[in-house]
Each structure stands twice: as structure tokens, then as C-alpha cells.
Amino acid sequence: MKPDSTQLNSTQLNSTQLNSTSAATAESRPKRDARRYPKIVVVDDDVAVAELLTRFLTKSNYAVTTFTNPQKVLEYLKTNSVDLMITDLQMPEMSGIELIKTAKGIKSNLPIIVITGTPDAPVAAEIPKLDIAGYFQKPFNLNYLAGQITQILNPLEAK
């Protein structure tokens, strides 16, 4: 199954891409488990990176919705509760810088982690001004990313 080029929800991945336990989201977890799973939005035009992050974060008990089109995530943010956004900086439809600024206009307290390849000099100069919660260059270490997410979403638990 090829993922939708606009949005890939972790429940849309088939069993060959994810094992059945990691494919569950907050909506599809058993009713007996009353915990609230933090909601993470992933934005990356690279479908392979989007799928990797979706599988890893879902397995780590996060409810994940992934977009390959930054315009679609802005629509989603207007009507959905989100605890964290992870985004690429270099995307064809909209720059990550523009996405972050617009997302912060919609949800000013939304923590954002940037994951990107080598940014060009003007983009690199903008990063410190963005009020982001974390920054990773590709390739990145998933375990270090997980630690950063824990620090952002559960600061007392991370210590």
C-alpha cells in the first residue's frame, strides 16, 4: 500500500509496514486503557522519513498523524488538538520556516522539533529566531529524538 501523498495516519499503514501492536493509535487502542496518548504531527515531504517517524513514534505510544503537504497540516492544526509537531525545513509546497511561523500563529504554545538535511545559510540564520523546542540534522538518532520528545512532553518524567 502506497501512503497517501498528503496525509498518512498511523492506522493507515498495513501490517507489512508495522506490526499490529505498533499500528494502534489513541483512537484504536483498547477501551480498557484509559491513558491519553500524546498527539504528534509529523510533516515531511520525504515519504520514507515520514513512515519511519510514524512507525517509531507509534511504537513509542504516541498518536501520530503524518503529512507530506505543509498546507494540509495547517488546516489540521486549526481543528485538532496537537501536543507536538515535528517538521522538515525544506519542502516544495512551503518552507519549514513559513510553516513554523504560521503554525505558531494558530497554536502559539505548540512545541516544534525541526528535522532537516543541511539547511542553506539563510535558513540556518532563521532557526534561532523560531522558538523551536529541538533541532536535528538528517540522518538523526531515533533514541536521541525520543529522549528530546520525552523532555518536551513530560519534563518531570525525563529527569
pLDDT at position 139 is 87
Supply 9's cell numbers: 495516519
DSSP secondary structure letters along 101-155 = HHHHHH-TT--EEEEES---HHHHHHGGGS--SEEEESS--HHHHHHHHHHHH-T
Domain boundaries, the chain: 7-153
Fold entry, domain 7-153: Rossmann fold (3.40.50)
Per-residue pLDDT of the chain (159 residues; tens, 9 = 90+): 334 434 444 434 332 233 222 222 323 233 334 468 999 999 999 999 999 999 999 999 999 999 999 999 999 999 999 999 999 988 988 989 999 999 999 999 999 999 988 667 777 778 888 889 998 888 889 999 999 999 999 876 545
pLDDT of residue 35: 60
**pLDDT at res. 38:** 95
Report pLDDT for 4.
41
Q: What is the pLDDT of residue 121?
A: 72
Q: Tens of pLDDT along 23-43? A: 223 232 333 344 689 999 999
pLDDT for the residue 119: 66
pLDDT for the residue 116: 85
- The dihedral of CA 159, 41, 68, 55: what is its sign? positive
The C-alpha cell that represents 137 in the structure block: 540534522
**pLDDT for position 156:** 61
pLDDT at position 102, please? Answer: 96
Residue 139, preceding bond cis, omega within 30 degrees?
yes
